[in-house]
Structure 1
Amino acid sequence: MSDYQHRARKRFGQNFLHDAGVIHRILRAIHARPGERLVEIGPGQGALTEGLLDSGAHLDVVELDLDLIPILQGQFAERDNFTLHQGDALKFDFSRLSEAPSSLRIVGNLPYNISTPLIFHLLDHAHLIRDMHFMLQKEVVERLAAQPGGGDWGRLSIMVQYHCRVEHLFNVGPGAFNPAPKVDSAIVRLVPHAELPHPARDHRQLEAVVRQAFNQRRKTLRNTLKGLLDADAIAAADVDGGLRPEQLDLAAFVRLSDQLPPLHNGTPSENHV
């Protein structure tokens, strides 16, 4: 261990995990094994890193903060199963690590300011990923795992559940971190579907419909989707245009998106939710 103490940086949203009981519980949930390919995003001061390496899996870590690189190198560079990548996980090409389907297992204690865009960046590589275990703000996990009908059900829930099975594993209090955040955290497991349960003709169109529907979530679908789908198209999708968007399940949104004319040279819509 280096005796240099790195101070958490606000601009990176850093809160370092230090609670041994929570660390053990996370490692048990991940249950890494020899021969697996793990990727840790934002290892910080290495709270989870040592346990992941001890599993015998190969561990690639992606860290943005240059000040943490010598700390991590000092702790783990001599481990044969450790590879460090300095860079921004939001721009990292995860296919560099493996091109085998369902071969990568992703782990991370994610800062709030990058959690949603990073999850969507990873979903672009979903075919390479076996599962993802993340520490996130509890409210984000509740949105990820939400069901139709409640206030948490929205764009994030729908688009992540389109690609993955979501499991809210357990909550973590502020005292497990240094510095202690002002909010509770939670561990979530995301498992990309081997086969999509409700495949859309074009996921970019699904994103467009979901985005527009929830732009004004208190309005009815016939009003909020105006200009994208008319009343006949909504009815053709077997959807009641008098409902609000939070009342629709994923399958209904897929049916709505399939009413749009096919995109030929359209550009993908923004993934960030």
Structure 2
Amino acid sequence: MSELFQHRARKRFGQNFLHDAGVIHRILRAIAAKEGQHLLEIGPGQGALTEGLVDSGAQLDVIELDLDLIPQLKWKFGLKPNFRLHQGDAMKFDFSTLPQAGEKLRVVGNLPYNISTPLIFHLLEHAGIIQDMHFMLQKEVVERLAAEPGNGDWGRLSIMVQYFCKVDYLFTVGPGAFNPPPKVESAIVRLAPYAEPPYPAKDHRLLERIVREAFNQRRKTLRNTLKTLLSVEDIEAVGVDPTLRPEQLDVSDFVKLANRLAELTPDS
């Protein structure tokens, strides 16, 4: 019956459909969904991962933007009592409407490159209701998410995601696992939000501002990049060397700077 639902991947949705059974099994094993859990799959596509997630017995909500894929997903999974389909844009979706009181979501998705970063930040706004997230992303994005200080990939994305989450680069996936094959390698990442950030910021918006300003000119020293926000004396007061470049600082250093800015910004 699947020939009824021939679907050509759409470039405007960034669609590359996963078809490699070995990779699918490996992802499902990493997620290890269980009955009693509540999963959310973003962009199920043709249901490559959906089948294994539904069969786990967990409650599964899926969000799909492409209207043409809805009939296929309904035909495959619509009669499953633990499956619920939402047609819409995950970037505009209110995830807080899904879990029951005290329940946490486990989020899964093969995310198109063009929305991966904004969607991760949208999800982090709901970090309190999320247990973990497993994403297939472009490999270079996962390298940035999992980067360490001093690495060329270390930057705004690394710091802000690692402020909220423990990040684990799980494994790499080659282009041949998809139809059509993308021109780049992909990778699987696990993001697990902390119950409480290891280095709490008084105002994470100020942390975002400090990090953004610092990396706007990443080759310059902090005394230059942060001069409109903090003096050299303010930087030194929290034990950070103002002659360092932003890529040499870890998350805790940026939080110290943001908290100093919060002290100097009473109305923040």
Structure 2 CA distance, aligned partners of 1:122 and 1:63?
16
Counterpart code for 1:2:
S
Equivalent positions of 1:182-261 (< 5 A) are 182-261=183-262
Tell me what 1:16 maps to: 17
Deviation at 1:261, TM superposition (A): 3.7
Structure 2 CA distance, aligned partners of 1:115 and 1:75?
27
Secondary structure of the corresponding residue to residue 135 of structure 1: strand
TM-score where L is the length of structure 2:
0.97
Tell me what 1:170 maps to: 171
For the aligned residue pairs, the C-alpha RMSD in angstroms reads: 1.2
Tell me what 2:65 maps to: 64
Is the deviation greater in 190-199 or in 256-265?
256-265
Deviation at 1:68, TM superposition (A): 0.6
List runs of 5+ in structure 1 lacking aligned partners: 267-273
Structure 1 CA distance, aligned partners of 2:164 and 2:266?
23
The answer as to 2:53 corresponding to 1:31 is no
Deviation at 1:228, TM superposition (A): 1.0
Counterpart code for 2:27:
I
Deviations 1:133-185 (A, max 9, x none): 00000000000000000100000000000000000000000000000000000
Structure 2 CA distance, aligned partners of 1:101 and 1:137?
33
Structure 2 CA distance, aligned partners of 1:136 and 1:172?
9
Report if the CA contact (8 A) 1:100-1:128 is conserved.
Answer: no
Deviations 1:10-48 (A, max 9, x none): 111000000000000000000000011000000000000
Counterpart code for 2:2:
S
Report if the CA contact (8 A) 1:173-1:184 is conserved.
Answer: yes
Structure 1 residue ranges (4+ consecutive) displaced by more than 6 angstroms after TM superposition: none
TM-score where L is the length of structure 1:
0.95
Structure 2 CA distance, aligned partners of 1:239 and 1:209?
13
Secondary structure of the corresponding residue to residue 259 of structure 1: helix
Structure 1 CA distance, aligned partners of 2:116 and 2:178?
17
Secondary structure of the corresponding residue to residue 54 of structure 2: helix
Report if the CA contact (8 A) 1:101-1:127 is conserved.
Answer: no
Tell me what 1:160 maps to: 161
Report if the CA contact (8 A) 2:156-2:211 is conserved.
Answer: yes
CA spacing shift, 1:186–1:101, aligned 2, 3 Å: farther
Tell me what 2:46 maps to: 45
Tell me what 2:99 maps to: 98
Q: Which has the higher helix share?
A: 2
- Corresponding residue pairs, total: 266
Tell me what 1:2 maps to: 2
List runs of 5+ in structure 2 lacking aligned partners: none
CA spacing shift, 1:165–1:149, aligned 2, 3 Å: same
Structure 1 CA distance, aligned partners of 2:32 and 2:267?
43
Report if the CA contact (8 A) 1:99-1:128 is conserved.
Answer: no
Deviation at 1:97, TM superposition (A): 0.2
Report if the CA contact (8 A) 2:107-2:134 is conserved.
Answer: yes
The percentage of aligned residue pairs carrying the same residue is 73
Deviation at 1:74, TM superposition (A): 1.0
Deviation at 1:194, TM superposition (A): 1.7
Structure 2 CA distance, aligned partners of 1:237 and 1:110?
39
Tell me what 2:115 maps to: 114
Report if the CA contact (8 A) 2:155-2:247 is conserved.
Answer: yes
Structure 2 CA distance, aligned partners of 1:158 and 1:100?
30
Deviation at 1:2, TM superposition (A): 3.0
The answer as to 2:129 corresponding to 1:145 is no
Structure 1 CA distance, aligned partners of 2:230 and 2:102?
36
Deviations 1:71-109 (A, max 9, x none): 111111011110000010011000000154561000000
Secondary structure of the corresponding residue to residue 152 of structure 1: coil
Deviation at 1:265, TM superposition (A): 6.0
CA spacing shift, 1:224–1:146, aligned 2, 3 Å: same
Structure 1 CA distance, aligned partners of 2:258 and 2:90?
30
Equivalent positions of 1:82-97 (< 5 A) are 82-97=83-98
Structure 2 CA distance, aligned partners of 1:121 and 1:264?
27
Report if the CA contact (8 A) 2:175-2:182 is conserved.
Answer: yes
Secondary structure of the corresponding residue to residue 14 of structure 1: coil
